[in-house]
Amino acid sequence: MTINPGIAIGVMASTATTDAVYVLFNAAVAARRRVLAATWSSMWYLLAAFAVISYTGNPVYVIFAAAGSWIGAFCALTWLGGPHKIGERQSSAG
């Protein structure tokens, strides 16, 4: 089996980008920044779209995966509460 250097570089670049977006998504979640977290989540799914395409054979489903990801992250962070800085404690008074 031969290795195509272009594909090898492409795979390495796409996984590096996907992991970087995953880290940024988690940072936004930890900071409870809803729009930013939802946007990173959507981008994460767009980068991983090849899995959806390979399972369904139809790239249109990628749009639904990204939209669902955005909505899910936004709703989860809405449920957790508004934005705050990491390490900042919310007041129990009032």
Q: Where are the chain's structural domains? A: 11-80
pLDDT in tens, 10-41: 767 777 787 888 889 999 999 989 999 999 98
Task: Supply the pLDDT for residue 72.
Answer: 75
Total-model pTM: 0.60
Of residues 79 and 90, more confidently modeled: 79
pLDDT in tens, 34-82: 999 999 988 887 877 766 665 566 777 667 777 777 887 787 778 777 6
Place of tokens 């492409």: 10
Task: Supply the pLDDT for residue 93.
Answer: 47
Q: Measure the CA–CA gap between 33 and 27, rounded to whole angstroms.
A: 9
- Burial-class residue 34 by CB neighbours within 10 Å (0-12, 13-18, 19+): buried
Kindly state the DSSP code that residue 93 receives in the 8-state scheme.
-
Q: Which two tokens stand for residue 60?
A: 């249109």
Show Cβ contacts of residue 41 under 8 Å, excluding neighbours closer than 6 positions: 25, 69, 70, 72, 73
Rg (CA), the chain: 17
Task: Supply the pLDDT for residue 94.
Answer: 43
